[in-house]
Amino acid sequence: MEAARSPSQSRLSQPPVAPNANDAKLTIEKFADGPIACLKFIGTIDESFDGKKIAKSVQCDWLILDLGGVKKISSFGIREWVDFMATAGKQAKSIVLIEAAPKVVDQLNMVANFAGGGRVYSFYAPFRCDYCDSEQRVLLDVGKDYEAIKSMKLAERPCPSCKESMYFDEDGSTYFSYILGQGQFELEPEVVAFLAAKLDYRVGTIDSKLRVDKIIDGRITYLRLAGGLDNTFPREKLAEGLEGVVIVDVAGVARVEPAGAAEWRGFVQQIAPLVDTVYLTGVAPVFLEKLCRAEDLGAKTQVVDFALPYACKGCGQASQRTIDVAEHRAVLKFATAPELPCSNCKATMQSTATEAQMLILPGLPPPQLTKELLHKLAELRMRKLDKKASSGLGQLQRAATDTAARGIGAGTLALALLVLLVVGAVGYVGYTKLTAKSPGPLGFGPVTARSVTPRPTWITNDSPGSVDCKGDVGVVCVGVSQPLASQEEAEDEASDAAYEGVAFELAKDKSLASLFPTAAETRAAAHAAVVRDPQSSQAKRDVHDGRHAAAKVIKRSTGPVAARYWEAYDTADGRKYVAFAQVGMPRGDAAKWIARAKQGTTALGATVVDFVPVLGWRFPRLDHGAVVTKLDHGPLQDLGLAEHYIVLSIDGHDVPDAATFAKLATDEYALLSTAEHGGSFHLLVQTETGDPREFSVQLAGKPTPQTPIPTGHGNHTHDVDHSNGVNVWDAYGGNKRGGRDDPTQ
């Protein structure tokens, strides 16, 4: 895989001296786009690879590691690589390894934590051709090749050099051991689009023809596009019969090729005389840049909303944010992206869009949408598509069009249409009754399996992604997962939702809520983002991460999940699981927990309380610390601390809670203050925004006495212990006496 150069690509080291040599110096190329970054490794990984430093330079949601160019990994290089993966795991929410070279696969199979928290999506398998005595590499991925990998045998395939058969030249049970243990998974659409645009790397079904789904609702036609725009774009078929208002959801368009762009422009020109207005929604940056100029849109096409990459200078979070054109038109007309608040720290985020994307913004016409149309648009985005219904309506429309084309008179045409519609409707109703699948209890397919029968009575709300809490006998919450392809992941998500529900109910106590107001605001903003755009994977991920962080803390107090249940559904996208989990805390325990959480401890002028679970929404990587709620005059106020700061460690010692803070702060400060030479008093603190910061002050220690030397018959006064003949120290100057050096002897 050869990566095309782009403005966002940069080198992190010197170019390789000999790219084909095993001892080639390591080169790392960096590609970035909003919340996604990719590091491409070429050469040898040895002791010169500063893994921690490289990892700290990357902060993103998704980190892609392209390892196809790795020639060799030394023993010291393995050590540095493991450190790199451990540090990178703290900088990125998800790590994906692609094109892992055979040398990398060998280390994955032998070295624990070689992949850290990352997952391998694609890797090379060694093949050998005996006819031309050559060795080749064949790229496999865990999406489309997993069944072959599970068989541990790969079929022979033609040699690219001599066209004769070559065979897999490894023991499958050994070579595939890590991959099989890891399991199968699919890449997120955002990652697929990034790999396609930045590296020309095609994943999964991105090479397949564009998928088009269609809903007709009165005079509104809703089209949902997913895949890549190329020369196969079916503009003639898609334009047929369009009229009235057309809404095209292009959020799933991950790739726009030149031929596809040309076909799209032809489609827009073709339907312009036939429709009232065309609205584009879910416009991704690649679509915005290539197909949203004034000449591309024409007179009747309007962009409702689009996405741009953003980055927060406060906390470093990068994400793709949706921009409503009507709301931000006053700013967009100056080729400027609106400043948006960070969902993590509330600081102002700045857009990292390319210049080409920014130049598109002034030409976007303000969309003319009524409130009714906006509500309809939101409804259509959430509606599940019935493929059979769409197909049947399309056939009726085409039949009517063909009849009209043959020149039948108006009366005959009307009668024919009426008969056709009645017969078609009767036939369609009968057909759908015989063939349609049950919508199931959640509306997206029938239940195909359950963990137990019947569904437990403790489930009173089955809305995916929700949490339902009751406080009759304490706090009892039931969490519901989103529909997921993995039963285990669904159960984990449901458990996190239930645990976090308990944490939030406890945090509603008035005096406790007043201590952490921004945590509740962050939680509310995350949930509002999902309601506003239910299809946004970033919004869903923010809720998932916030719940998981809060759940990790509250678990220490609630104990295990009280009850679990799951259902499997046969959906249009394959089997999906929805899980339910129940977590509770008795009334007495809840009261004790709240009292303990509010209890402050004071040291060095600072009053602190324990880290509470709801703070996980603001700081998802933290699960402990002492939160400053009040500061009086004292050493910590002088040091620069402020209210709501979280003390994480003191002089290298972790601070798990308020009590530990008080003891460590008092003891360490006193020790350094009375030491002969003093020392530096260090605190690692999480401020309200950004990464943790270190606060320190140099303490002078115990002052040295400066007592004047007394006068009299001698230069010194002595108190010599004659009983044991041991030398003692002068009380004033510290001079040794009682021995040969004593001037009085």
Task: Give the tens place of pLDDT for each residue, 680-721.
Answer: 888 999 988 777 888 988 888 776 665 454 544 444 433 433
Q: How confident is the model at residue 198 (pLDDT cuts 50, 70, 90)?
A: low
Q: Is the peptide bond before 692 cis (omega within 30 degrees of 0)?
A: no
CA–CA distances in Å: residue 457 to residues 234, 259, 461, 491, 564:
50, 56, 10, 18, 12
Q: What is the mean pLDDT of residues 224-236?
A: 83
Burial-class residue 676 by CB neighbours within 10 Å (0-12, 13-18, 19+).
exposed
What are 495-524's pLDDT values in tens digits? 999 999 999 888 888 777 777 777 788 888
CA 531, 568, 578, 456 dihedral sign is positive
Question: Hey, which residues does 449 pair with through a beta bridge?
Answer: 568
Residues written for the chain: 745
Q: Which CATH number describes the domain made up of 10-199?
A: 3.30.750.24
Instruction: In whole angstroms, give the CA distance from residue 452 to residue 456.
Output: 8
Read off the pLDDT band of 526 (50, 70, 90): confident
The 8-class DSSP code of residue 632 comes to: -
Given a cut of 60, whether residue 409 has pLDDT beyond it is no
Pair type for strands 60-73 and 92-98: parallel
Whether the per-residue pLDDT at 578 is higher than 90: the answer is yes
CATH for 204-387, options being 3.90.650.10, 3.30.750.24, 3.90.700.10, 3.10.180.10: 3.30.750.24
Lowest average pLDDT, out of 181-195, 402-416, 452-466, 723-737, goes to 723-737
Query: pLDDT exceeding 90 applies to what percent of the chain?
Result: 28
CA end-to-end span of the chain, whole Å? 89
**Alpha helix ranges (H) inside 211-310:** 235-239, 258-271, 285-291, 294-297
CATH class of the domain at 600-699: mainly beta
- Mean pLDDT in the chain? 79
Element (H, E) at 43: strand 36-45
User: Is residue 183 within 8 Å of 191, Cβ to Cβ?
Assistant: no
Q: What is the structure's pLDDT at 344? A: 62
Tell me how far apart the alpha carbons of residues 642 and 634 are, in angstroms, rounded to a whole number. Answer: 12
pLDDT category at 626 given cuts 50, 70, 90 is very high
Q: What is the pLDDT of residue 421?
A: 54
pLDDT tens by residue, 159-175? 888 888 899 989 888 89
339 vs 349: CA distance, rounded Å: 6
Which carries the bigger pLDDT value, residue 75 or residue 440? Answer: 75
